[in-house]
């Protein structure tokens, strides 16, 4: 392995590791901020002490995770320049715009109003205090929007022209950047994913409390009720947005879809893979169970329609972009897609059970139902993470689709050496492992505590 | 004025915001373990910056993202050149950031102590590193014709940079001590005052020394991108005045003066640099300037509109949050943990 291969591998590993870890906390805090805001609004409107206590209880869990989300976000903000300096030079004219707007519009209000919310319980009028957490939630949502505007440019570039001399793309149409189809599918998808993540956490913890028998029965019944509605609405939205995103991908990144389906040859109508073991070298099935016509239906809402296969796309891309390997890691794309969709389907099923229980106001669960509700907690994390792995790995070998390959984006090895990368990766792994342990320790402590102790 | 110059000013402004605001909360963090051994009093010290530190840190994040949007090459060269120092700074900021939230969530003394020291190191390291980084930008670092850094880690460690690092560390600590004197009462206030008085002489001396060495070590006062005139003199005078104000117990004015000193020093540096962003020690032709490193006029114009509308809004609501928490924090009042 030569040094530039080495640095590429290390830089990619570090980016993957730090962004996946960061994204453990983002959907959760996005959803929990909205959830906490709803509870506090209920408190302001009804004046019931129960809602104030619930706000504090879920708000504490929100704060613990928000802190980790914030500090791991600093890494993301600097890492483009640190590890991906050639990428930053190449795409800064466009990518920098939403990043800068994100800090101006989102980070300032999040941080300032969160400070007001944490320390302002006795200083601010009730309604203004509740407004603060709504503003934090709004800030987090804005942050998600602008970062997805930036990411969407990498997925399917719009609104640019190549600068004279062809050295870099330059922004010429901000509306085209903002109205990128990818933004308007990815953003609702991620936002709904956040709602789902918070919803399932609330369901799991509430069910756990109700199951072990608590004097705060009523408060956790309310939590479960809110959580079940939250999770159900979120799951429906996430599936709808995901579905339309997939249809759009067929137009903008057909290779990602083909890889996610292990579809070697173009098919019309195209079949949907239930289970495939493939030969990635030979680009063929070893073993496969497929549902005929289903992929065409998912793609075009009709049992007709061609979905292009990996081999055909490879030929097409060679013609358009020159010789090279344009096939992403199929095993990664295929399985991340299945984990995401499988997780989503399970969550739809489980959120329906929770909703049914809530509607029937039956809060005594059989051990099976209680375990099911509790152990469904990790599902959103599995789906969120595999969703992002699909989005980013399925785009390979491109860093910016059609414009810049990943290997062209890293900082030159003469600037950031493999030794430096190994040191930084070791630092982040150690640090994040410690953060994870501490976060889980505190989550367990505060999630299992009684509601009053969150005061 | 062209849009590149506007962004040069905006980024200078963002750095001033960062140094003045986060400067004092770094200072408070550094003083934390020495202010008291008692948990309630330490919590009081933390709560003086509790509602603000995160908002203050966003000034840094915004400066970085502004660099990315306005001068992508500057952002790329700088962050890749300072790779390991930035990793260290990020690690420090991570510890510090979670410490504020995690500290109160468990009541074992060892736990609290650990996070207090995290706040200490998490404040001290960035306060030192920013001085070192700044000195290197103006002194020049080996950057080649394709804007890539060709030096190693050791290029960044030199006596001049260390002097600047210790200066920034001491000035931020002084700034924090005065802030504490403003926000606390009784014993804590006296202690903060006494720290401020002790820190003043070395901080001022080093600041003057730093200015003197800047004359010999850099071309900042020779090149004179824009002549800063008497601004650096004002910066030193503001710092000198602090001891007299402290003796009169006018902590508010003293805080204003350390803020002026920090702001004017930053302005001096940026004015001396203009229109350069990063000095190449290899060849003046390879300097990064606001023209050879900038984004397109369209992107710059766009982000300018957003920044010019929202920076005043940000100042208003951040100012309002300082107003909401204007009272002194005392150990006998109810503390938000």
pLDDT score for B297: 92
Its pTM stands at: 0.94
Q: Is residue B330 part of a domain?
A: no
Q: What is the pLDDT of residue A291?
A: 87
In a domain, B332, yes or no: no
A281 within a domain of the structure (yes/no): no
B120-130 average pLDDT score: 96
Query: What number is the average pLDDT over the span B52-81?
Result: 95
- Interchain contact, A445 vs B105, CB within 8 Å: yes
Paired tokens of A304: 């007709």
CATH number of the domain enclosing B98:
1.20.1630.10
Q: What is the mean pLDDT of residues B229-255?
A: 91
Mutate one of A4, A11, A70, A81 to test the B interface: name it (highest B CB count within 10 A).
A81
Contact B257, B243 (CB under 8 A): no
User: Quick one: pLDDT at residue A288?
Assistant: 86
B175 occurs within a structural domain:
yes
B97 and A71: CB-CB below 8 Å? yes
Instruction: Please tell me if residue A316 touches chain B, with a CB cutoff of 8 Å.
Output: no
Are A170 and B47 within 8 A, CB to CB? Answer: no
B333 within some domain: no
Nearest chain B residue (CA) to A78: B79
Which residue among A82, A100, A119 places its CB closest to the CB of B83? A82
Confidence of residue A455 (pLDDT cuts 50, 70, 90): low
Nearest to A376, CA basis, from A399, A394, A351: A351
Query: Which of chain B's residues have a Cβ under 8 Å away from the Cβ of A86?
Result: 76
User: What is the percent of chain B where pLDDT is above 90?
Assistant: 78
* Cα A227 from chain centroid (whole Å): 20
Q: Is residue B237 part of a domain?
A: yes
- What is the distance of C-alpha A382 from the center of its chain? 10
Task: Tell whether the model's pLDDT for residue B224 goes beyond 80.
Answer: no
Å from B119 to nearest chain A CA? 13
Q: Does the pLDDT value for residue A452 go beyond 80?
A: no
pLDDT band at A304 (very low <50, low <70, confident <90, very high): confident
Residue B85 pLDDT greater than 90, yes or no: yes
Number of structural domains in chain B: 1
Residue B65, min C-alpha distance to chain A (Å): 5
What mean pLDDT do residues A7-17 have?
Answer: 95
Is A436 in CB contact (< 8 Å) with chain B? no
Task: Tell me whether residue A248 is in a domain.
Answer: yes
Within an 8 Å CB–CB cutoff, is residue A415 touching chain B?
A: yes
Report pLDDT for A114.
96
Q: What is the CA radius of gyration of chain B?
A: 20
From the list A92, A119, A435, the residue facing B325 with the nearest CB is A119
**Per-residue CA distances from A441 to A58, A61, A73, A173, B109 (Å):** 16, 12, 21, 48, 17
Q: Is the Cβ–Cβ distance between B140 and B44 less than 8 Å?
A: no
Looking at the complex, report in whole angstroms how far the Cα of residue A78 sits from the nearest Cα belonging to chain B.
7
Least confident piece of the model among A295-304, B126-135, B219-228: B219-228
ipTM surpasses cut 0.85: yes
pLDDT of residue A453: 65
- pLDDT of A74-99, one tens digit each? 999 999 999 999 999 999 999 999 99
What pLDDT is attached to residue A213?
Answer: 79
pLDDT in tens, B252-268: 999 999 999 999 999 99
Q: Which residues on A lie below 8 Å from B150 (Cβ)? A: 414-415
Which range is least confidently modeled, A206-215, A375-384, B325-334?
Answer: B325-334
Higher pLDDT, A276 or B221: A276
Residue A67 forms part of a structural domain: yes
B131 inside domain: yes
Whether residue A247 is contained in a domain is answered as yes
Contact yes or no for B58 and A170 at CB 8 A: no
Task: Give residues 166 to 185 of A whose Cβ lies within 8 Å of B.
Answer: 170-172, 174
Residue A217 has pLDDT above 80, yes or no: yes
Q: Which residue has the higher pLDDT, A37 or B155?
A: A37
Q: Which of A75, A100, A120 sits opposite B303 (nearest CB)?
A: A100
Closest CB to A100: pick one of B66, B81, B318.
Answer: B66
Percent of chain A clearing pLDDT 90 (strictly above): 78
Reported confidence tier of residue B223, pLDDT bands at 50, 70, 90? low
pLDDT at A362 over 90: no
Predicted confidence (pLDDT) per residue in B49-60, tens digit: 999 999 999 999
**pLDDT value for A1:** 45
For B31, B166, B255, the CA distances from B25, given in Å and listed in that order, are 10, 17, 13
Rounded mean pLDDT, B172-185: 96
CB proximity under 8 Å: A 353-412 to B: 411-412
- Which residue's structure tokens are 């907690």? A377
B229 Cβ neighbours under 8 A, 6+ residues apart: none
Domain limits at A410? 17-254+372-454
Percent of chain B with pLDDT over 70: 98
> A113: which chain B residues are within 8 Å (Cβ-Cβ)?
317, 321
A contacts of B77 (beta carbons < 8 Å): 85
Chain A, window 69-128: residues with a beta carbon less than 8 angstroms from a chain B beta carbon: 70-72, 74-75, 77-78, 80-83, 85-86, 88-89, 91-97, 99-105, 107-109, 111-116, 118-124
Phi/psi for A406 (5° steps) reads: -55, -40
Contacts of B334 in chain A (CB under 8 A): 122
Mean pLDDT (whole number) for A218-224: 91
Q: What is the mean pLDDT of chain A?
A: 92
The answer to whether residue A288 neighbours chain B at the CB level (below 8 Å) is no
Task: Say if A118 falls within a structural domain.
Answer: yes
User: Residue B187 and residue B35: Cα distance in Å, rounded?
Assistant: 10
| A-B C-beta contacts closer than 8 Å | 214
Residue B39 lies in a domain: yes
- Asked, for residue A333, whether it belongs to a domain, the answer is no
- How far apart (Å, rounded) are the C-alpha atoms in residues B130 and B3? 27
Q: Is residue A12 part of a domain?
A: no
Q: Which residues have a Cβ under 8 Å from the Cβ of A133 and sit 6 or more positions away?
A: A33, A36, A37, A40, A59, A113, A117
The predicted structure's pLDDT at residue A5: 60
Residue B120 has pLDDT above 50, yes or no: yes
Band of the pLDDT at A4, cuts 50, 70, 90? low
Averaged over B245-250, what is the pLDDT? 92
Q: Give the mutation candidate from B6, B10, B90, B294 for the A interface (greatest A CB count, under 10 A).
A: B90
Residue B173 located in a structural domain: yes
Q: What is the pLDDT of residues A59-79, one digit of tens each?
A: 999 999 999 999 999 999 999
Over the Cα atoms of chain A, what is R_g?
23
Domain count for chain A: 1
| Domain coverage including residue B42 | 3-324
């Amino acid at each position: 392995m030569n040094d530039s291969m080495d640095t590429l591998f290390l830089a990619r590993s570090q980016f993957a590791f730090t962004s996946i870890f960061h994204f453990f906390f983002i959907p959760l805090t996005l959803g929990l901020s909205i959830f906490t805001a709803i509870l506090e609004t209920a408190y302001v409107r009804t004046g019931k002490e129960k809602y104030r206590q619930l706000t504090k209880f879920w708000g504490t869990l929100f704060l613990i995770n928000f802190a980790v989300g914030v500090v791991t976000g600093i890494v993301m903000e600097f890492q483009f320049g640190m590890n991906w300096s050639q990428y930053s030079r190449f795409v800064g004219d466009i990518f920098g715009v939403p990043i800068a707007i994100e800090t101006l519009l989102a980070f300032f209000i999040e941080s300032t109003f969160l400070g007001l919310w944490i320390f302002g319980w006795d200083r601010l009028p009730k309604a203004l205090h509740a407004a603060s957490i709504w503003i934090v939630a709004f800030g987090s949502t804005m942050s998600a929007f602008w970062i997805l505007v930036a990411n969407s440019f990498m997925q399917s570039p719009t609104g640019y022209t190549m600068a004279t001399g062809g050295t870099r793309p330059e922004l010429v149409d901000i509306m085209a950047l903002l109205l990128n189809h990818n933004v308007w599918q990815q953003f609702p998808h991620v936002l709904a994913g956040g709602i789902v993540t918070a919803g399932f956490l609330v369901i799991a913890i509430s069910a756990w409390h109700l199951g072990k028998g608590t004097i705060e029965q009523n408060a956790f019944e309310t939590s479960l009720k809110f959580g079940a509605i939250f999770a159900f609405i979120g799951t429906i939205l996430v599936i709808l947005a995901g579905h339309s995103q997939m249809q759009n991908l067929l137009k903008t990144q057909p290779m990602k879809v083909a890889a996610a389906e292990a579809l070697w040859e173009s098919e019309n109508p195209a079949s949907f893979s239930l289970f495939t073991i493939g030969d990635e070298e030979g680009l063929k099935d070893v073993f496969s169970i497929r549902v005929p016509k289903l992929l065409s239906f998912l793609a075009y809402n009709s049992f007709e329609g061609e979905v292009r296969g990996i081999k055909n796309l490879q030929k097409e891309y060679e013609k358009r972009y020159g010789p090279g390997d344009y096939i992403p890691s199929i095993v990664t794309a295929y399985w991340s897609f299945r984990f995401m969709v499988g997780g989503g389907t399970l969550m739809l099923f489980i959120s329906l059970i929770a909703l049914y229980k809530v509607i029937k106001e039956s809060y005594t669960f059989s051990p099976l139902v209680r375990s099911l509700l509790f152990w469904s907690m990790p599902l959103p994390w599995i789906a969120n993470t595999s969703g992002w792995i699909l989005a980013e790995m399925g785009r390979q070998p491109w860093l910016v689709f059609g414009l810049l390959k990943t290997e062209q984006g890293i900082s030159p090895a003469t600037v950031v050496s493999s030794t430096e990368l190994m040191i930084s990766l070791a630092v982040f792994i150690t640090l994040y492992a410690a953060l994870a342990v501490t976060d889980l320790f505190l989550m367990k402590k505060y999630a299992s505590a009684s509601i009053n102790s969150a005061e | 004025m062209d849009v590149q110059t506007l962004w040069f000013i905006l980024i200078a402004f963002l750095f001033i915001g960062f140094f003045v605001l986060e400067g004092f909360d770094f200072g408070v963090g550094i003083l934390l373990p020495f202010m008291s051994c008692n948990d309630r009093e330490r919590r009081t010290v933390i709560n003086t910056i509790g509602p603000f530190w995160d908002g203050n840190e966003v000034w840094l994040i915004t400066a970085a993202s502004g660099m990315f949007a306005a001068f992508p090459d500057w952002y790329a060269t700088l962050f890749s050149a300072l790779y390991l120092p930035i990793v260290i700074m990020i690690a420090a900021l991570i510890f510090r950031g979670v410490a504020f939230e995690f500290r109160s969530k468990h009541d074992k003394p060892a736990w609290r102590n650990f996070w207090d020291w995290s706040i200490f190191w998490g404040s001290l390291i960035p306060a030192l590193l920013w001085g070192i980084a700044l000195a290197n930008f103006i002194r020049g670092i080996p950057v080649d014709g394709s804007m890539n850094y060709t030096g190693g880690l050791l290029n960044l460690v030199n006596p001049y940079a260390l002097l600047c690092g210790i200066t920034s560390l001491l000035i931020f600590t002084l700034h924090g001590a005065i802030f504490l004197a403003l926000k606390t009462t009784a014993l804590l206030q006296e202690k903060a005052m006494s720290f401020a008085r002790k820190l003043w002489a070395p901080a001022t001396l080093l600041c003057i020394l730093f200015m003197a060495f800047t004359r010999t070590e850099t071309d900042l006062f020779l090149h004179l991108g824009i002549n800063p005139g008497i601004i650096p003199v004002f910066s030193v005078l503001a710092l000198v005045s602090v001891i007299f104000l402290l003796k009169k117990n006018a902590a508010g004015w003293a805080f204003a003066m350390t803020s002026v000193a920090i702001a004017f020093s930053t302005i001096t540096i940026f004015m001396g640099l203009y229109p350069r962003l990063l000095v190449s020690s290899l060849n003046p032709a390879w300097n990064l300037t606001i023209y050879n490193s900038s984004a397109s006029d369209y992107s710059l114009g766009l982000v300018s509109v957003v920044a010019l509308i929202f920076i005043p809004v940000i100042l208003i609501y951040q100012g309002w949050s300082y107003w909401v928490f204007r009272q002194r924090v005392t150990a006998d009042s109810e503390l938000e943990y």
